[in-house]
């Protein structure tokens, strides 16, 4: 099993999943500085030229949600076994890929610019959208569940990396979401998450 990734929010997701599963894998760090994600060798793995990508004994899987779903189904972990729980988790995978992932990416791109170079209209739009999406996660957690579908699953891994980044970036206008913040800390405290976060290119 070979994972092609980087230390970005999307790149951390399969690292966390693989550490949670405790299965052997090789990490191939993709250098954005050297534009390796656009190299012919990488494009043969993922024609979209983005990380992460997984080579599971010749089965090529790309897009972080697809990788997490593949790993959960292959190893029979990190996905509820009952039909309702499983569909809840899958719904949350899609919610992340269509919601906080792209909105958070656009917001982060504007936030990292010098203020005088920032597109304020774009910044405001995506900040408000991220605030709305984190608010939706707060609603999910309001019944007292420990994790997003009750038990810890790929849904938590999928949402955690972007939510953790966005809440910790100091972006003005992101409100106080105590249930989400407590969930972020619960996930962060997991030993497999700590191990995954410590992994970096040499």
Please spell the DSSP secondary structure of 39-73, one letter per residue: SHHHHTT-TT--S-EEEETTEEEESHHHHHHHHHH
Which pLDDT value is given to residue 183?
98
Q: What pLDDT score does 176 carry?
A: 87
Instruction: State the pLDDT at residue 149.
Output: 97
pLDDT in single tens digits along all 202 residues of the chain? 999 999 999 999 999 999 999 999 999 999 999 999 999 999 999 999 999 999 999 999 999 999 999 999 999 999 999 999 999 999 999 999 999 999 999 999 999 999 999 999 999 999 999 999 999 999 999 999 999 999 999 999 999 999 999 999 899 999 889 999 999 999 999 999 999 999 999 7
d(C-alpha 165, C-alpha 197), whole Å: 12
Cα separation, 26 vs 132, in Å, equals 37
Cα distance between residue 200 and residue 32, in whole Å: 14
- Evaluate whether 114 touches 174 at the Cβ level (below 8 Å): no
Which among 102, 85, 52, 104 has a CA at the least distance from the CA of 155? 85
Write down the CATH superfamily of domain 2-77+192-197.
Glutaredoxin (3.40.30.10)
Q: Do domains 2-77+192-197 and 83-190 have the same CATH topology?
A: no
What CATH architecture is 83-190? Up-down Bundle (1.20)
Q: 167's torsion region: left (phi>0), alpha (psi -120 to 50) or beta?
A: alpha
**Average pLDDT of the residues of the chain:** 96
The residue to which tokens 């969930």 are assigned: 183
Q: Give the pLDDT of residue 175.
A: 87
Q: Where are the domains of the chain?
A: 2-77+192-197, 83-190
Among candidate residues 19, 63, 30, 26, the one with its CA nearest the CA of residue 152: 19
> What are the pLDDT digits (tens) for 133-148?
999 999 999 999 999 9
Separation of alpha carbons 178 and 57, rounded Å: 42
């Amino acid at each position: 099993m070979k994972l092609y990734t980087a230390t970005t929010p999307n790149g951390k997701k399969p690292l966390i999943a693989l550490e949670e599963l405790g299965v052997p894998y090789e990490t191939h760090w993709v250098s954005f500085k050297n534009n390796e994600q656009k190299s012919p060798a990488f494009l043969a793995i993922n024609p979209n030229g983005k990380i992460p990508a997984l080579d599971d004994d010749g089965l090529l899987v790309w897009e972080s949600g697809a990788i997490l779903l593949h790993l959960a189904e292959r190893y029979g972990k990190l996905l509820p076994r009952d039909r309702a729980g499983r569909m809840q988790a899958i719904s949350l995978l899609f919610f992340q890929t269509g919601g906080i992932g792209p909105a958070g990416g656009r917001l982060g791109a504007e936030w990292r610019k010098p203020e005088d170079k920032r597109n304020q209209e774009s910044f405001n739009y995506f900040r408000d959208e991220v605030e709305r999406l984190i608010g939706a996660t707060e609603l999910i957690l309001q019944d007292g569940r420990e994790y997003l579908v009750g038990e810890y699953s790929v849904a938590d891994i999928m949402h955690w990396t972007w939510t953790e980044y966005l809440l910790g970036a100091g972006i003005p206008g992101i409100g106080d979401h105590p249930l989400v913040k407590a969930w972020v800390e619960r996930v962060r405290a997991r030993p497999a998450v700590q191990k995954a976060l410590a992994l970096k290119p040499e």
